[in-house]
Amino acid sequence: MQFELLHPADQIILMMERIYTYGMTTTSGGNISIVDDQGDLWITPSAIDKGALTRSDIVCVTSSGEVIGNHKPSSELPFHQSIYRARPDLKAVIHAHPPALVTFSIVRAAPDTRLLPNERQICGEIGMAAYALPGSEELGRNIAEVFAKGINTVMLENHGVVVGGADLFTAFQVFETLDFCARLEIQAKRVGQPLLLDEESLNTVRLAQQKPKLPSFTPEGFPTPEREARREMCRFIRRAYDQRLFTSTQGTFSQRLEGNSFLITPYGMDRKYVEPGHLVRVENGAIEAGKTPSRSVLLHQAIYEQHPHIHSVIIAHPPSIMAFAVTESTFDSRTIPESYILLRGTPKLPFRSVYEKEQETASRFVKDTPIAIVENNCIVTTGKSLLEAFDRLEVAEYSAAALIDAKSLGSIVTIDAAKIRDLEQAFGL
């Protein structure tokens, strides 16, 4: 999607629809603005249902101060204007009240973005603005003072969050990622003490991103089975995003093709808008010309080379199962029969497993170990089909969520060893 070519009103509608649909704001809460190339400010209206906005609802406040539109501009217009005055380099602002971020604002803290390797880089420094009456000039001053320090993401005491960006798409990525960090940290603290990545670990990621690129090739054609595989992958990628198993910036699918080749998601593309033509074919260790595959491409390649029974690999970061990745707590799949049948032992691998010693890591995914948790990094699921790998991802996240919730009810009772043997015998595990 060429987001930058959309009219400001259409951009705002598109992003507010995502924010509202994914439960990150309410009917009356939140506002979005854009400053266009002429210096006019486009903003969501006041007191209009955020779940049913149309482009005709968006209000334009011209550079001369004239208000053009069918409604009054958002009551929070003053702080949007204050941010743009303090930071002329910013061209878009998002303010909303996702429950997890509101939780942090109530305790007047910011989520820690050092739980996973890329979130700190995406979100940058996070500031805190003192409480003031919503819609007031004082609130605008408080927020603008923090933005004036060069900070693009500001938590509001007892209120929510404000994120600015060079464009609305960039602002949304930061906003969504910070919300994910908040949900992850909340879940993690319900099962144990979160473990933060140190600078050495973060440097490992930076070095991994500088690895030599694979050679490229130009496909001679696209066989019908590959075209169907591309279509199927995109369908599951969008489903993973809609179920919040992915974020716009995180999550990788791959699927084996005929011969020594496979398809994998591209690097740096919004997962909600991935189309068949965006997917990258990797063939005999070379990548499809003009495209950049996921940074985990070498691990996917190693898994396919070592395990003929595996036809799909997914790397994801859902917040409930990742709560076990960022703490010392152990995930136990012996909760319900389906969980054990699909997930089995679920080992926890070292943080560097995705970035170093890919061959050694790949060797772990034998038939009785279809998934693994990677410390402070991700969950890797495999399957004989894309559907099976995706099913394992869903079951892992739902089982983890059930385990976390169960802790508030009482002692967890797992399926005992005798019943596990019955399951293994009945299902040929």
Q: What is the pLDDT along the chain (429 residues), one digit of tens a residue?
A: 677 789 999 999 999 999 999 999 999 889 999 999 999 999 999 989 999 999 999 999 999 999 999 999 999 999 999 999 999 999 999 999 999 999 999 999 999 999 998 899 899 999 999 999 988 999 999 999 999 999 999 999 999 999 999 999 999 999 999 999 999 999 999 999 999 998 888 887 777 766 667 899 999 999 999 999 999 999 999 999 999 999 998 999 999 999 899 999 999 899 999 999 999 999 999 999 999 999 999 999 999 999 999 999 999 999 999 999 999 999 999 999 999 999 998 999 999 888 888 999 999 999 999 999 999 999 999 999 999 999 999 999 999 999 999 998 999 999 999 999 999 999 988
Say if residue 305 is in the same domain as residue 269: yes
Burial 32-60 (b: 16+ CB within 10 A, else e): bbbbeeeebbbbbbbebebeebeeebbbb
**pLDDT score for 4:** 78
Q: Of the residues 191, 220, 242, which one is the last residue of a structural domain?
A: 191
Q: Specify the amino acid at residue 425.
A: Q
Q: Which residues of 211-241 are buried (b: 16+ CB within 10 A; e: fewer)?
A: eeeeeeeeeeeeeeebeebbebbbebbbebb
Range list of β-strands (E), 228-331: 252-256, 261-264, 280-283, 286-288, 312-316
- Do 51 and 147 lie in one domain? The reply is yes
Q: Do 211 and 300 lie in a common domain?
A: yes
Do residues 150 and 268 share a domain? no
- Residue 270 placed within a domain: yes
CB atoms within 10 A of CB 397: 20
Rounded Cα distance between 350 and 137, Å, is 50
Q: How far apart are CA 128 and CA 150, in angstroms?
A: 13
Residue 197 lies in a domain: no
Cα-Cα-Cα-Cα torsion 25, 26, 27, 28, nearest 10 degrees, comes to -90
Collapsed DSSP state (helix, strand, coil) of residue 419: helix
The answer to whether residues 355 and 209 belong to one domain is yes
The Cα–Cα gap between 283 and 258 comes to 10
Task: Answer yes or no: is 318 within a domain.
Answer: yes
What phi-psi label fits residue 316: left (phi over 0), alpha (psi between -120 and 50 degrees) or beta? beta
- CB under 8 A, 24+ apart: contacts of 284-288: 284/217, 284/260, 285/214, 285/215, 286/214, 286/215, 286/216, 286/217, 287/213, 287/214, 287/215, 287/216, 287/217, 288/216, 288/217, 288/218, 288/219
| Nearest of 110, 17, 106 to residue 57 by alpha carbon | 17
Residues 310 and 398 occupy one common structural domain: yes
Question: 191, 225, 240: which is the final residue of a domain?
Answer: 191
pTM, two decimal places: 0.93
Residue 31 to residue 45: CA distance in whole angstroms = 8
User: Which residue in 215, 121, 138 sits closest to 173, CA to CA?
Assistant: 121
**Do the Cβ atoms of 374 and 402 come closer than 8 Å?**
no
CA 65 to chain centre: 37
Q: What is the pLDDT of residue 210?
A: 66
Beta bridge partners of 256: 262
Q: What are the residue ranges of helices labelled H in 331-416?
A: 337-343, 358-362, 386-406
CATH number at residue 114: 3.40.225.10
Q: Residues 376, 188: contact at Cβ < 8 Å?
A: no
- Helix, strand, coil share of the chain (percent; to 5): 40, 15, 40
CA distance 287 to 298: 11
- What integer pLDDT is reported at residue 429 of this predicted model? 86
Same domain, 322 and 230: yes
Residue 109, SS3? coil
- Residue 295 CB contacts under 8 Å (≥ 6 apart), including other chains: 208, 209, 267
Closest by alpha carbon to 95, among 163, 7, 171?
A: 163
- Report yes or no on 370 lying in a domain: yes
Provide the domain limits for residue 316.
202-426
Dist CA 54 CA 409 (whole Å):
44
What local confidence, expressed as pLDDT, does residue 29 receive? 87
Domain boundary among 169, 191, 213: 191
> Based on the domain organization, do 277 and 185 belong to the same domain?
no
Judgement on whether residues 229 and 366 belong to the same structural domain of the protein: yes
Q: How many domains does the chain have?
A: 2
Contact of 205 with 117, CB cutoff 8 Å: yes
C-alpha 155/C-alpha 30 separation (Å) is 14
For 249, phi and psi rounded to 5 degrees?
Answer: -105, -10
Same domain, 134 and 212: no
Give residue for tokens 């010392």. 328
